[in-house]
A and B are shown apart, each in its own frame.
Chain A
Amino acid sequence: MRLRPLLFLLILFLARPLEARIYLDVYAIGFRRVVVAAPPFRGPQERFGTDFAELLNKDLELTGFFVTTPFSLMDRRMLEEPEEKEHIRFEDWSSLGIELLSKARFREEGQDVIVEAFLYDVTEGSLIFAKRYRTKKDLWRSIVHRLSDDIVLAVTGERGITNLKILFVAEEGSSKEVYLSDIDGYMIKKLTSFGSITLSPCLSPDGSLLAYTSYKKGRPGLYVMDLRKRSDVYEDTTEGIKVPHLFLSNRTLVYSGAVGRSSGIFTLDLERRITTRLVGGDGIYTSASFTRDGKKMVFVSDMHGSPQVFLKNLENGEIRRITFSGSYNTSPAISPKGGLIAFVSKLEGNLEICLTDEDGKYMKVLTDGGMNDSPQFSPCGRYVIYSGRKAGASKIHLSLANGEMRRVLKLTGRGESQPRFFIGKED
């Protein structure tokens, strides 16, 4: 187990191996959501215990996998029973239709807060896990996010998304700046303050480098900023446009660029300052996205006339066209696990987020009108995040990859675009 400086996660005991049972197959089409109850945490201050539980319920709802239970449905005895299995009256919970019960208590030790959480299968009357979490009091939200992710892991076999951060661009007057936020809109950090147009941000896996395109010096440049030093460590303001897409590692950036007849998608080794072209020509090549193993890349190109999505197998160099219907299919993203590809398609004058597979056979439209852009998959591949606008300001939306549970994330409220998930370090 990994020990983090501030957040200690202690597994007291595991009722059974996590892999043994998947309660919810979230890849199934039209899966049924699990009814969960997460009553207020018991502890020295009642108010704090309610805050904990309210956030946990919000987190669980955000996942799209659960139906939560209002506190008002729980009677005094249910709220006051201790967390250990022998005290739980499962028939009471079961009578409310509850399938999963998260019981927790908290206490304070100096500057720290400690949470002990127990997750029960109500139907079987069995313990799924019991865990202890500890962190600084003012970081209590991270404990809840962690617990929520652990519940998702126990139920679906994969960790949830509530501990992820969202990197995005937001308008500020006529400027656009880069922000990083918790997925629930808390802890919003402004990463750039150039008073200019700054676009297409992406973070290195360790979170130390931010690549972006900015007009801060007049002509657009590709920059890489060291966020610890708050200074650029790479700058390319030569003529033409360059747009960063992702970091393959902490030193390798993928970007697309065009000037004159030379256009393409490149890798840039930031240490050796070497650029390698992955694909290119005299047309448009941009919006590169990779599977986690780095073996497959999707991108958009107008090499056949109109913008279409292509998949390049980087092992054998083969390039395959994925989209064939319509004349405007752009901004692709491939699931980190491969399989699914999200992209933007112009349909009846709208820009819709669509899903397809690597053969381009499966096709699903996720959105219903408006101007949608920049889809990206979550690291687990179960969610798609994108920007969308019907009227008013563009907002960041989150959806399950099957198109269910679409909702707007509450972030800055000012014209938001180009969202990306970031697996935040716990700090």
Chain B
Amino acid sequence: MRRSLLFLFLLLVIQVACAPKTVKMVERAPHPTEAVSKEEEVAGPEGEEGKEGAQEAQGIKEEEVREEEVKIAAKGKVAAPETPSGSPLKDIHFDFDSYTIRAEDLRVLSEIGAWLREKKTIRLLIEGHCDERGTVEYNLILGQKRADAVRAYLVSLGVEGERLRTVSYGKERPIDPRHTEDAWAKNRRAHFEIER
């Protein structure tokens, strides 16, 4: 408990330190304030995590990174949607027209699974995406199948299903809008977002 109080205090310091910059930015773009208030929310569960112990060193590192993030946000750049540092979350990719998880991605998912088993309060949104070389309707379902395949694998690793929500974007939200093999490979993905 004492540790979490310290943690909150540190965050407060960070915010106070950044406050003037943020206020200045507000007139131009409301985004930085939003980013800062999100940090506050993240602090809640993270504070509780402290109870489990053996997190002290990591905790401090996290705060440093957060401070950096807040600064970036204050400069008006888009803050990464608060992926806690040290999180193993990263996109995994699929072959054309496939919703089978690739062998090389099983390791990524294992890390994510272990991380989720540890951080019991985190809930994930799993987005399934497709490349543009398919029909609209088929890709909508295919995207769902990709998200579902990832969810099923994480559940098989012991993550509670209620913490994992899926959504398909079909081919509607490419991460790379180019029409190249490279872009298509990037776009056939499952992407993770932390839900609040």
Answer whether A and B are interacting partners: yes
**B136, B152, B167: the one within 8 Å of A373 (CB):** B136
Structural contact, A417 and B141, CB atoms closer than 8 A: no
Total contacting residues, chain A, CB less than 8 A: 39
**B-binding segment of A103-111, A159-167, A258-266:** A258-266
On chain A, the residues within 8 Å of B167 by CB distance are 219-220, 239, 241
**Interface contact A258-B148, CB-CB below 8 Å:** yes
A287 near B137: Cβ-Cβ < 8 Å: yes
Distance from B129 Cβ to chain A, minimum over Cβ atoms (Å): 12
Q: Does B138 contact A (CB under 8 A)?
A: yes
One of A176, A241, A306 near B140 (C-beta < 8 A): A241
Indicate which residue in B132, B135, B152, B166 contacts A330 across the interface (CB closer than 8 Å).
Answer: B135
B113 at interface by CB-CB < 8 Å: no
**What band does the interface of chain B fall in when counting residues whose beta carbon is under 8 Å from A?**
20 to 34
* Most chain B Cβ neighbours within 10 Å, of A330, A331, A344, A374: A330
What residues of chain A lie closer than 8 Å to B165, measured between beta carbons?
Answer: 219, 239
- Indicate if B187 sits at the interface (CB-CB under 8 A): no
Give the complex CA separation of A427 and B133 in angstroms. 39
In the assembled complex, which residues on chain A have CB atoms less than 8 Å from the CB atom of B22? Answer: none
Report whether A284 and B136 are in contact in the complex, using a CB–CB cutoff of 8 Å: no
Q: A240-B166, A351-B135 are in contact. Are A213 and B140 (CB under 8 A)?
A: yes
Given contacts A199-B140, A240-B166, A307-B138, contact A258 B133 (CB under 8 A): no
Q: Within 8 Å CB of A213, what residues of B? A: 140
A280-317 vs B, CB cutoff 8 Å, 1 = contact: the mask equals: 00001111000000000000100000110000000000
* Cβ-defined contact, A374 with B143, below 8 A: no
Complex CA gap A263/B170 in Å reads: 16
Closest residue to A343 on the B side, CB-wise? B135
- Given A241-B168, A306-B97, verify A418-B142 contact (CB < 8 Å): no
Cα A258 to Cα B136 in complex, Å, equals 15
Interface residues of B in 89-135 (CB under 8 A from A): 97, 132-135
In the complex, what's the smallest C-beta–C-beta distance from A230 to chain B, in angstroms?
24
A136 at the interface (CB under 8 A from B): no
Shortest distance from the beta carbon of B190 to any chain A beta carbon, whole Å: 14
Q: Is the interface of A mostly helix, strand, loop or mixed?
A: strand
Judge if A128 is at the interface, Cβ distance under 8 Å.
Answer: no
Q: Does B145 contact A (CB under 8 A)?
A: yes
In the complex, what residue of chain A is closest to B167 when comparing beta carbons? A219
Q: Tell me the complex Cα distance, A197–B169, Å.
A: 9
**Across the interface, do B140 and A259 meet the contact criterion of CB distance under 8 Å?**
no
Are A331 and B138 in contact (CB-based, < 8 A)? yes
A residues in contact with B143, CB < 8 Å: 241
Bound-complex Cα distance A199 to B169 (A): 11
CB of A374 within 8 A of CB of B136, answer: yes
Chain B residues, CB < 8 A from A245: 137
Bound Cα distance from A371 to B184, whole angstroms: 14
Cα A104 to Cα B140 in complex, Å, equals 50
B34 at the interface (CB under 8 A from A): no
Chain A residues with CB below 8 A from B56, complex form: none
Q: A284-B142, A287-B138 are in contact. Are A351 and B133 (CB under 8 A)?
A: yes
Q: Is the CB of A344 within 8 A of B172?
A: no
A258 — which chain B residues lie within 8 A by C-beta? Answer: 141, 144-145, 148, 168
Q: Which residues in A have their C-beta under 8 angstroms from that of B136?
A: 199-200, 331, 373-374, 417-418
Q: Counting CB contacts under 8 A, is A346 at the interface?
A: yes
Known: A219-B167, A328-B97. A243 touches B148 (CB 8 A): no
| Closest chain A residue, CB of each to CB of B99 | A284
Question: CB-CB < 8 A to B97: which residues of A?
Answer: 306-307, 327-328
Q: Which of B132, B141, B166 has the most CB of A within 10 A?
A: B141
Across the interface, name the chain B residue whose C-beta is closest to A391: B179
Interface code A308-346, partner B: CB below 8 Å = 1, 0 otherwise? Answer: 000000000000000000011011000000000000101
The reply to whether the CB of A142 lies closer than 8 angstroms to some CB of chain B is: no
Q: Whose C-beta in chain B lies nearest to the C-beta of A260?
A: B148
Q: Does A256 contact B (CB under 8 A)?
A: yes
Minimum CB distance partner of A373 in chain B: B135
Please indicate the chain A residues that have their CB under 8 angstroms from the CB of B140 in the complex.
199-200, 213, 220, 241, 243, 286
| Given A239-B166, A307-B97, A263:B135 Cβ within 8 A | no
A374: chain B residues within 8 A (beta carbon): 135-137
Interface string of B151-176 (1 = CB under 8 A from A): 11000000000000111111010000
Q: Is the CB of B166 within 8 A of A243?
A: no
Q: If A344-B135, A371-B132 touch, does A263 touch B168 (CB 8 Å cutoff)?
A: no
With A220-B168, A239-B165, A307-B97: A263-B132 Cβ-Cβ less than 8 Å = no
- Chain B residues near A371 (CB-CB < 8 A): 132-133
Q: Hey, which bits of chain B sit against chain A, CB under 8 A?
A: 97, 132-138, 140-145, 148, 151-152, 165-170, 172
- Would you list 30 pairs from A and B whose C-beta atoms are within 8 A, ordered by A residue? A197-B169, A199-B140, A199-B170, A200-B137, A219-B167, A220-B168, A239-B165, A239-B167, A241-B144, A243-B140, A258-B144, A258-B148, A259-B148, A260-B148, A260-B151, A260-B152, A263-B141, A263-B145, A285-B141, A286-B137, A287-B135, A300-B138, A327-B97, A328-B134, A331-B136, A346-B133, A371-B133, A373-B135, A373-B136, A374-B137
3 tightest CB-CB pairs across the interface, nearest first? A331-B135, A241-B144, A241-B168
| Apart from the given pairs A219-B167, A331-B135, 18 other A-B contacts in the complex at a CB distance below 8 Å | A199-B136, A199-B172, A239-B165, A240-B144, A240-B168, A241-B141, A241-B143, A241-B144, A241-B167, A243-B137, A243-B140, A258-B145, A260-B152, A285-B141, A287-B137, A327-B97, A351-B133, A373-B135
